[in-house]
Chain A
Amino acid sequence: MIDWLRRALGMVIVPCIDTLGTYRAKVVAQSADFRTVDVQADDSRIGNLSKVPILLGLPGCTVNIAAGCFVRLGWRGGDRRQPYVTSWESEATVTKLVANADLIELAGNGYAAVLDTLIGALKNYVTAVNAVLASNCVNGAPMSAYAAQTAALVAFLTALSASGAFKSTKVKHG
């Protein structure tokens, strides 16, 4: 009974479109600079909009998403000259996320642990190889034919140490 009444009323009372509100819209395409999208509003009274600016809500960030996801479509100050999209629904597939920041801190430490293990193993391996080279000598001096390789390995070890420093200042884990 209530459903019937609701349907009957729905045929008579059509909700108005309030441009101070937001409306669900499907992303059809995105521009190459990731800054605008073409959308199709769920409400057919609104229709399709092109090159709508993305209001991501995170300064310095752009995002490339797969077409087919849903966003909220609105108009700044209710002005139809200023449409925007924001608030991606959770099913959205992110193809690429670009963040312009001096420091990006990633939650969790799984990645950091794997990287530390890898760097440690590389250091051990290079040190061992270097030791072999150093032991392969003539009258107590390394063979001159391997001097360049020895220098390269020392440089590699230095780089590995530096990579640890880079990791801790640019991307913080955990």
Chain B
Amino acid sequence: MALVSIASLDASEARIVLPRIGAWHVDATLQGATGIEEGDAVTVSVAGSLSLVGHATRAQAHEDALRVRVVAGGAGLAGTATAKFYQGAQVRLVLGDLLTGAGEMLSSTADAAILATLLPNWSTFARPVGVEIATLLSVAPVGTAWRVLADGSVWVGPETWPVSSLAFELIERDPARKRLVLGVALPTLLPGFTLDGERIGDVEHVVTAAHVTTIARLA
């Protein structure tokens, strides 16, 4: 059984990109597979321990393989927000409208204090939803992050940097680019964790039939 499967179809190769801020996506090649179409809601299973819920935004047959891109949640954060004006609204209302309009959901674990932030005035512009969310959260305390969780919901809040117990082998350290290349048994490292005393920002897992490599950018 492959380490990565999409909609129960094994992937021969996969690239899993998990940013600390924003939406994750998975590019995968499924040998001899069919049945996934653009717009389908799919679950990406990673090593049987991590399930990523998203939508297929690309599904193209190439020779004997199906190349698929899965984007987090409803894959709607790249869509255009509706221009709307608010007065005396909380961040929760504005964010909720942005997410609902994009077909996304707010995580129940989102920080309540940030969501309760009062906005005397606010305008959302007809720009990409992700850009509007980032702009909206500029009113939150410094260090506030937002990203799409594995379950496809959108989380906002301060980073807590929990410690990861992941076993790894350091293959390369690039201080200039603040980048670590790790050899791991399973591609399960997530952004927002502390690994060996260092805060992990964006994470990228490259899974092939031969090996698993995790590229971690330090926050």
Q: Give A residues with C-beta under 8 Å from B.
A: 16-17, 44-52, 80-83
In the complex, what residues of A have CB within 8 A of residue B125's CB? 17, 45-47
Partner of A45, one of B119, B127, B135: B127
Contact with A along B130-141 (1 / 0, CB 8 A): 000001000100
A47 to B32, CA, bound (A): 49
Collect the chain A residues with CB atoms within 8 Å of residue B122's CB.
80-81
Q: Which of B85, B119, B126, B135 contacts A50 (CB 8 A)?
A: B85
> Is B211 an interface position by the 8 A CB rule?
no
B83, A46: Cβ atoms closer than 8 Å = yes
Instruction: Tell me whether A80 and B135 are in contact in the complex, defined as CB-CB below 8 angstroms, given that A46-B123, A49-B123 are known contacts.
Output: yes
Chain A residues whose CB sits within 8 angstroms of the CB of B121 once the complex forms: 49, 52, 80-83
What 1/0 flags go to B101-137 for Cβ under 8 Å of A? 0000000000000000001111101110000000100
What B residues does A81 contact at CB under 8 A?
119-122, 139
B126 / chain A contacts, CB cutoff of 8 Å: 44-47
Report the minimum CB–CB distance from B111 to chain A (whole Å). Answer: 19
Of the four ranges (under 10, 10 to 19, 20 to 34, 35 or more), the interface on chain B belongs to 10 to 19
Q: Which residues of B contact A45 (CB under 8 A)?
A: 83, 125-127
Decide: B139 and A47 in contact? CB cutoff 8 A. Answer: no
The chain B residue sitting closest to A41, CB to CB, is B83
Is B178 positioned at the interface, with any CB of A under 8 Å from its CB? Answer: no
How many Å from the CB of A115 to the closest CB on chain B? 46
- In the assembled complex, the CB of B172 is this many whole angstroms from the nearest CB of chain A, namely 37
Q: How far is the CA of A45 from the CA of B81 in the complex (A)?
A: 9
Residue of A16, A17, A48, A82 touching B85 (CB-CB under 8 A) = A48
Q: How far is the CA of A77 from the CA of B87 in the complex (A)?
A: 18
B173 at interface by CB-CB < 8 Å: no
Q: Across the interface, which residues of B come within 8 angstroms of A52, CB to CB?
A: 121
In angstroms, Cα B82 to Cα A52, docked, is: 19
Shortest Cβ gap from B130 to chain A (Å): 14
Question: From residue A83, how far is it (CB to closest CB) to chain B in Å?
Answer: 6
On chain A, the residues within 8 Å of B85 by CB distance are: 47-50
Interface contact B83-A80, CB-CB below 8 Å: no
- Asked whether any CB of chain A lies closer than 8 Å to the CB of B62, the reply is no
Q: Which residues of A contact B87 (CB under 8 A)?
A: 50-51
Q: Name 10 extra pairs, CB < 8 A, besides A47-B82, A50-B87.
A: A45-B127, A47-B123, A48-B85, A49-B121, A52-B121, A80-B121, A80-B122, A81-B119, A81-B121, A81-B122
Contact A47 to B135, CB < 8 A, known contacts A17-B125, A83-B123: no
The chain B residue sitting closest to A38, CB to CB, is B85
For B45-57 the 0/1 string (1 means CB < 8 A from A) is: 0000000000000
- Contact present for A17 and B139 (CB under 8 Å): no
Task: List chain B residues, Cβ under 8 A from A82.
Answer: 120-121
- When chains A and B are docked, how far (Å) is the Cα of A73 from the Cα of B125? 14
**Closest chain B residue, CB of each to CB of A45:** B126
- What is the minimal beta-carbon distance from B132 to any residue of chain A, in angstroms? 10
Among B84, B119, B120, point to the contact of A47 (Cβ < 8 A). Answer: B84
**Chain B residues closer than 8 Å to A50, beta-carbon distance:** 85, 87
Residues of B117-171 contacting chain A, CB below 8 A: 119-123, 125-127, 135, 139
A82, B122: Cα distance in complex, Å: 8
Q: Which residues of B contact A48 (CB under 8 A)?
A: 83, 85
Interchain nearest-CB distance for A174 vs B (Å):
44
* B residues less than 8 Å from A17 (CB atoms): 125, 127
Q: Which residue of B lies closest to A84 (CB)?
A: B121
| Beta-carbon nearest neighbor of B135 in chain A | A80
Chain B residues within an 8 Å CB radius of A44: 83, 126
